Chains A and B, each alone.
Chain A
Amino acid sequence: MDVDVLMTHDICGPGTIGVFHEKFGKDAKVWDPDRVVIIPDHYIFTKEEICHRNIQILRDFVKEQGLKYYYDPEFVTNTPGMPNPYKDPTKTNYKGVCHKALPEEGHVRPGEILLGTDSHTCTAGAFGQFATGIGNTDAGFVLGTGKLWLKVPPTMKFLFHGQIPPYLTAKDLILAVIGEIGVDGATYRSMYFAGEGISSLTLEDRMTLTNMAIEAGGKNGVCDVDEKTLQYVRARSNRPNWEVFKDQPGTQYSYEHEWDLSTMEPMVAKPHSPDNKDTAYNCRDVVVDRAYIGSCTGGKITDMIFAANILKGNKVKVKTFVVPGSTEVHADMKNLNLRGVPKDSNEKSIEDILIDAGCLVGPSGCSACLGGPADTFGRLQATETCISTTNRNFPGRMGSKNAAVYLASPLTVAASALTGKITDPRDYISAPIETGMAGVL
């Protein structure tokens, strides 16, 4: 199979580069310097020098190979200690979480094959492409050859009827799907999300669905390409051409399931597995110690707008950490209002609203989504209960293995932050939440 784009980051990049040099030789060149994308995002804001060293390995490789697409955290220098984050998110080369940065920076298009050394590479399937995660050895092989062996997976179809109601986001849909089929329910298979319910979602929200395909064991997740997809890709793609594939009549699926959005409820995944589903309402007595809004799943600008609409004018009862998925999301949080349009000088920004509500806003990146080094922003350090917009709640995923993590939508997380208990967001929503063109243009 020919690979269109290969992505790697700071925790798998050094190993991949090691494999490449060992197997192809010290002087080897990558197959196409314009198709390799390197996005440091995991361990950026830590004082651990080994993490800074890994960034330097990426920089050296980018220079040696003349790679065009590299998003450097220039504030990570060889001065020991915690790097000083960017001051202005519009004035840094650094992006943040790779799966958010890939489409923003024009590396995602319908019909292509994207491989990345990260299991959530499947996120890009929201744009009608085949995207999946691979390991360092496979990535080293792709660096040298531009090719990899892949089997065509059988496809499972998840059909959603109706329009997304104001109290649900794509997170509720995917938690319902994973809860239905289990964390191994889609192993080796492709997950196709279809129907008018999916068309009614923004591209940002569709990314939440495909992002978590891996949590059901899926090889990839994919959505149909429509006008919304094309509008995004036309505005951003760094290549002018792409091919749109459509669902063919008469296609055989290995599994089919239908949902009606009007009867679905806000969902949570209880500790310690993404398929441990329940409704937010049933968990109303669960006391939480903190809330976390961030990651490639729940750190997009639409997620921030959803949370801000619940938190506006209120105060959080528990420590609430907010981590923008990318520096572009962070910039939008400073520029957009509650309806997702550029704010007037007398209006509050999303970030202002979150800070006024008592949230702690950190710099963009993976942060505590995967625990990370001990000094990571928002990391769970003890027997705490956290409600989070992230994607995994295995033991120890967000830090301490004694902590308990509930996964939920940004609406549910924000509502729970206000009460200190898991809270169904319907109590806080009276009208549909507009997100305008946020995240698209």
Chain B
Amino acid sequence: MQSVITGRAYVLGDNIDTDQIIPAEYLSFNPAIPEERKFFGMYANSGVPPKQAGLPNGNVKFVRDNEYKSDYQIIIGGKNFGCGSSREHAPLALAEAGIKCVIAEFYARIFFRNSVNGGYVVPLECKDRLVGEIRTDDELEVHLDDGYLLNKTTGKRHDLRPLGDVLPIIEAGGIFQYARNAGMLK
């Protein structure tokens, strides 16, 4: 795991559900096939209603038309990020689009678990409400070891909650490597 993640922020609101992160019509692509997997990047966040896409102004495309990668590397969310369906395609789509970490107030359980166990994106929680505070396009620096986020655009610093129990799994890069390291798998 990198100890500092830098990148541009893309800001979403509360209760972003997995149908918005990756609409059901794209679930027929098989993530196990590389030529199909890249489409999850193309359609990541394509279900977010335009007004709520890229706050505070909205109407900001997460991935430009006909591209597979986003111009953004960090997602800022509000409460209950990733609620709804259990589709692992959601954190996978964000990772395919180039997202390194999400920082939200708190997560829906299955999204959090999938992000950690699949080693897709680092799901961080912040003590402050960042929606309304951080703007889409702000330049951010996330210091994982020291547990804070620096908004380079505004100079403001926000404390992150410790990752706790799941840190070793994130450090290992997912549940399989973790289980191998722990001797559970050969």
User: Residues of A with Cβ closer than 8 Å to B?
Assistant: 11-12, 14-15, 17-19, 21-23, 42-43, 48, 50-51, 53-54, 57, 117-119, 121, 133-138, 141, 144-145, 149, 183-184, 187-188, 214, 217, 219, 273, 370-374, 392, 394-397, 401
Contacts and interface: CB of A to CB of B under 8 A. Distances in A.
Contacts of B25: 371-374
A214 B80 CA distance: 12
B114 A138 contact: yes
B110 interface: yes
A42 B27 contact: yes
Contact of A371 (B15, B23, B175): B23
B15 A183 contact: yes
Contact of B84 (A14, A18, A134, A394): A394
Q: Is the interface of B mostly helix, strand, loop or mixed?
A: loop
Contacts of A144: 185
A196 B31 CA distance: 46
A184 B83 CA distance: 8
A145 B20 contact: no
A24 to B, nearest CB: 8
Size class of the contact patch on chain B: 35 or more
Contact of A217 (B23, B30, B47, B108): B108
Given A184-B80, A371-B23, A373-B25, A17 B32 contact: yes
Interface string B2-41: 0000000000000101011001110111111100100000
B163 to A, nearest CB: 15
Contact of A187 (B19, B48, B80, B89): B80
Contacts of A149: 175
Shortest beta-carbon contacts, A-B, top 9 = A18-B32, A135-B88, A135-B114, A133-B86, A119-B86, A184-B80, A137-B118, A136-B88, A370-B24
29 contacts: A11-B27, A11-B87, A14-B30, A18-B30, A18-B31, A18-B32, A19-B32, A21-B32, A23-B176, A50-B30, A57-B30, A119-B86, A134-B86, A134-B110, A135-B88, A137-B114, A137-B175, A137-B176, A187-B108, A370-B19, A370-B85, A371-B19, A373-B28, A392-B17, A392-B19, A394-B15, A395-B49, A396-B19, A396-B49
Given A141-B117, A145-B179, 8 more contacts: A50-B30, A118-B86, A119-B86, A119-B110, A133-B110, A135-B114, A137-B114, A392-B17
B174 A217 contact: no
Contact of A136 (B83, B85, B106, B118): B118
B109 A15 contact: no
Interface string B73-99: 000000110011111110000000000
A144 to B, nearest CB: 8
Find the residue from A135, A394, A396 having the highest chain B CB count within 10 A. A135
Contacts of B36: 50
Contact of B88 (A17, A137, A371, A395): A137
A11 B28 contact: yes
Contacts of A54: 28, 30
Contacts of A138: 113-114, 117, 175
Nearest to A216: B83
Nearest to B32: A18
Nearest to A366: B24
A12 B30 contact: no
B3 to A, nearest CB: 24
B111 to A, nearest CB: 9
B84 A392 contact: yes
A182 B174 CA distance: 31
Nearest to A373: B25
B79 to A, nearest CB: 6
A69 to B, nearest CB: 20
A138 B117 CA distance: 7
Find the residue from A43, A117, A138, A219 having the highest chain B CB count within 10 A. A138
A43 B29 CA distance: 12
B87 to A, nearest CB: 7
Nearest to A218: B109
B15 A135 contact: no
B49 to A, nearest CB: 5
